[in-house]
Amino acid sequence: MSPVVLSAAGTCLVLDATGPGLPVVRHFGADLGPVTGPVLAPLLPAPALLPAQGDGWYGRPGLAGGRPGEHWPVRWTRDGPPEVEAEAGRGGRVRTAAADERAGLRLVSELVMDPHGVVMMRHELTGASASPYRLDGLTCAVPLPARAGEILDFTGRWALEKSPQRRALGDGVWARENRRGRTGHDGTGLLVAGTPGFGFRHGEVWAAHAGWSGGHVHYAERVPEGATLLAAGELLEPGEITLGEGESYRTPWVYFTWSGDGLDTAAGRLHDHLRSLRDRPVRPVTLNNWEATYFDHDLDRLLALAGRAAEVGVERFVLDDGWFRGRRGDHAGLGDWYVDEDVWPGGLHPLATRVRELGMRFGLWFEPEMVNPDSVLAREHPEWILARADRPPPLQRRQQVLDLARPEVFAHLLGRLDALVGEYRLDYVKWDHNRDIAEPVHDGVPGVHAQTLAVYRLIDELRRRHPALEIESCSSGGARIDYGILARTDRVWTSDSNDALDRQAIQRWTGLLVPPELMGAHVGAPRDHVTGRSLPLAFRAATALFGHMGVEWDLTSAGRAELDELAVWIALHKRLRPLLHAGRVVHADHPDPSTLVHGVVAPGRAVFACVRLASGPGSGPAPLRLPGLDPAARYEVRTAGPLPPGAALPEWTTAPVRLTGAVLGELGLPGPGLKPASVLLIELDAVAPGQDG
């Protein structure tokens, strides 16, 4: 049969289904135009959709598992030709059903290309034998060409997520495995392979992301014969999934993206995909009280904070940890989701009412999956902890994890969340998850898979009951950022660090996976509570401007000049918000590593930030090149927001200039001489023909 071709947005995937087994991805990359059988011959040989030795692949198999006392290497036979729904240039869907009767297994593979060129893949494996099959692994993979010689992935820790690391891709496997029970601060998010030296605006890149909030694996493998794979999937523990006859396991969606001109285009495809999932309302500027008051829930103090928040332009007030019974510190109370009558004798109504009178929305913090041993819930129901009954896991943050896959636990949590959201007409829930899941046992087997699915069901049901409710996924900062959780939430908390210097890098690399409007970015206090570093308000605000902007600062302690300046930055964010939260994110490959240049570009408009992180080696600033603009359009270039103090600013910052996108992208502007920890914002508007002077 003719090859199956999916194409969209300049991307193409060619699927060869000529043999009796699973189809083979012959090409994933640049659009090839019309493809016929003879074109397949010179393309790099690749294993089938599920790599196995029966197809000549001697690397890591796509399927791992077996039955006690017997071993049948799986060799798939298709039930018939793949089911194809495709439209040239618009993507499409391919569904393939196959079986190995001797091995007692059936398989359905789905492959989807969306209109933005993002490829999604998943497999569903079903037992077809009376003998149970223990599944150890099932991953999704695409081939890479030989020119993909370098890989980029990310590690991290609490309050410093998404730290990049690069290396050459040689023979063997480079794998990132996560067994934390959540995506993890060190979760790579994306595993990127590309031509050596690729950057934001140059080089060919391929990237994979497992859209799953539990254990996961991403890997790249090259075998000496030359074939290379990029793969990802759920990481299963031994015995976690056993398939009886007629029982099925379906992998999470794995997302693949390609770009012929650097990371920005690959990320842009992913941003477009997330934005297409559903329409989101305007992202309101949010104040969270955590770093302002911590556990000190004094009504008068919180009312004063709410007043200051409304004064500077905040649109939503979120009450963080400390409002429920017994919660005077992090040692007690988790699980007892009732308003503490001693602290809040009138309930939360006086605060919620005043917040709304001030024109703001009201949100509340929860950590539903967790429980303190020092809580009524844990004392009454120790069996609800996700653990063996005879040996609880080690404590982290003085808390344990509840087994949400138990129906009674699920029902209890849904009941409490539903009641509180309804009583207080909550607009927003900050959903936290503050520890890794250690030694999880559910019904005698590893429990992360069942726990993750239960969390998804809980969020989905709460949203079904309260369709207008927005939910933030927070996991001690950025430890649960993935497309599984983002499919059902409205933003992520990017990091527990509000230190703007660290945040510049954290947001830069998290932004490969997540568009700005889904990344919580707050203006912290003058002295950061994590790093102890003091930074100017302008630098803190300009950093938060490029995300879902918020404030996490005791504004009652701020002086009048600080409040007035903050109000200016919030007003600027609101003015730029339609651009920031819908445009294409771009980065310049700037020659000075101490300077970052990034922006957001839309037809006819753009805003850029030139960020000075530290003192650089050069004696003068490099030209400021602004990428991603329409080369034929003519733009008026001017500064936006307060000018950075003490900077040596070129003439164009005081007298706006008009230049084409081609000139701005290739030659650039004279670079500003900025001091460390300062930002210059540049705003551009296209000039209509006949009005360009």
365 neighbors 321 (Cβ within 8 angstroms)? yes
Question: d(Cα 609, Cα 683) in Å, to the nearest integer?
Answer: 9
Element housing 265 (H / E): helix 263-277
- Of residues 419, 423, 239, the one with CA closest to residue 348: 423
Q: Residue 55 has what pLDDT?
A: 85
Q: Residue 624 has what pLDDT?
A: 97
Does the pLDDT value for residue 36 go beyond 90? no
From 16, 31, 100, 496, active-site residue: 496
User: Rounded mean pLDDT of 415-438?
Assistant: 98
Does the pLDDT value for residue 38 go beyond 90? no
Does the pLDDT value for residue 44 go beyond 70? no
The residue extents of the domains of the chain are 4-277, 286-434+442-583, 588-686
In 3-state terms, what secondary structure has residue 401?
strand
- Res. 35 pLDDT band, cuts 50 70 90: confident
Would you tell me which CATH number, out of the four given (3.20.20.70, 3.40.720.10, 3.40.50.300, 3.90.1150.10), belongs to the domain 286-434+442-583? 3.20.20.70
- Res. 42 pLDDT band, cuts 50 70 90: low
User: Rounded mean pLDDT of 294-308?
Assistant: 98
Q: Residue 43 has what pLDDT?
A: 60
- Res. 46 pLDDT band, cuts 50 70 90: confident
Q: Residue 54 has what pLDDT?
A: 87
Instruction: List the strands of the sheet with 241-243, edge to edge.
Output: 63-66, 133-138, 241-243
236 neighbors 449 (Cβ within 8 angstroms)? yes
User: Rounded mean pLDDT of 662-678?
Assistant: 97
Does the pLDDT value for residue 34 go beyond 90? no
Q: Which of 66-80, 107-121, 163-177, 575-589 has the lowest mean pLDDT?
A: 66-80
User: Rounded mean pLDDT of 555-582?
Assistant: 98
Does the pLDDT value for residue 39 go beyond 70? no
Would you call 496 a catalytic residue per the annotation? Answer: yes
Would you call 436 a catalytic residue per the annotation? Answer: no
Cα angle for residues 518, 519, 522 (degrees, 5° grid): 130
Does the pLDDT value for residue 495 go beyond 70? yes
Q: What superfamily in CATH does domain 588-686 come from?
A: Golgi alpha-mannosidase II (2.60.40.1180)
Question: d(Cα 211, Cα 483) in Å, to the nearest integer?
Answer: 4
Could you give phi then psi for residue 28, rounded to 5 degrees? -140, 110
- Of residues 107, 63, 91, the one with CA closest to residue 6: 91
Does the pLDDT value for residue 56 go beyond 90? no
Q: Residue 215 has what pLDDT?
A: 98
Cα-based torsion angle of the residue sequence 456, 461, 467, 472 in order, rounded to the nearest 10 degrees: -30
Question: Is 213 exposed, middle or buried, given 0-12, 13-18 or 19+ CB atoms closer than 10 A?
Answer: buried
Question: d(Cα 303, Cα 301) in Å, to the nearest integer?
Answer: 5
- Res. 555 pLDDT band, cuts 50 70 90: very high
Ramachandran region, residue 477 (left: φ > 0; alpha: ψ -120 to 50; beta: rest) = left
User: Rounded mean pLDDT of 355-366?
Assistant: 98
Q: Tokens for 306?
A: 């709410």
Element housing 542 (H / E): helix 537-545
Question: d(Cα 257, Cα 268) in Å, to the nearest integer?
Answer: 10
User: Rounded mean pLDDT of 517-539?
Assistant: 98
Question: d(Cα 525, Cα 548) in Å, to the nearest integer?
Answer: 17
Question: Following DSSP, what letter does each residue of 222-260 receive, concatenated?
Answer: E-TTS-EEEEEEE-PPTTSEEE-BT-EEEPPPEEEEEES
pLDDT in tens, 427-470: 999 999 999 999 999 999 999 999 999 999 999 999 999 999 99
Does the pLDDT value for residue 118 go beyond 70? yes
- Res. 692 pLDDT band, cuts 50 70 90: low
Could you give phi then psi for residue 208, rounded to 5 degrees? -125, 145
Q: What is the 3-state secondary structure (H, E, C) of 63-125?
A: EEEEECCECCCCCCEECCCCEEEEECCEEEEEEEEEEECCCCEEEEEEEEECCCCCEEEEEEE
Question: d(Cα 61, Cα 55) in Å, to the nearest integer?
Answer: 10
Residues 94-102: contacts with CB within 8 Å, 24+ apart?
94/4, 94/6, 94/15, 94/23, 96/17, 96/22, 96/23, 96/49, 98/21, 98/22, 99/128, 100/72, 100/74, 100/75, 100/76, 101/128, 102/72
Q: Residue 585 has what pLDDT?
A: 98
Regarding beta strands 361-366 and 316-319, do their DSSP bridges make them parallel or antiparallel, or are they unpaired?
parallel
- Res. 229 pLDDT band, cuts 50 70 90: very high
Fold of 4-277: Beta-galactosidase; Chain A, domain 5 (2.70.98)
Residue with tokens 């393939």: 96
pLDDT in tens, 594-637: 999 999 999 999 999 999 999 877 667 999 999 999 999 999 99
The 10 Å Cβ neighbour count of residue 75 is 17
Q: Which of 2-6, 158-162, 168-172, 659-663 has the lowest mean pLDDT?
A: 2-6
Q: Tokens for 66?
A: 């077996």
Does the pLDDT value for residue 41 go beyond 70? no
From 432, 482, 502, 528, active-site residue: 432
Question: d(Cα 427, Cα 469) in Å, to the nearest integer?
Answer: 5
Q: Is the dihedral of CA 52, 58, 62, 66 positive or negative?
A: positive
Beta bridge partners of 466: none
The 10 Å Cβ neighbour count of residue 565 is 18
Mean pLDDT of the chain: 96
Q: Tokens for 360?
A: 């703001």
How far apart, in Å, are the Cα atoms of 183 and each of 116, 233, 371, 451, 610?
25, 12, 20, 13, 32
User: Rounded mean pLDDT of 284-306?
Assistant: 98
Question: d(Cα 178, Cα 676) in Å, to the nearest integer?
Answer: 36
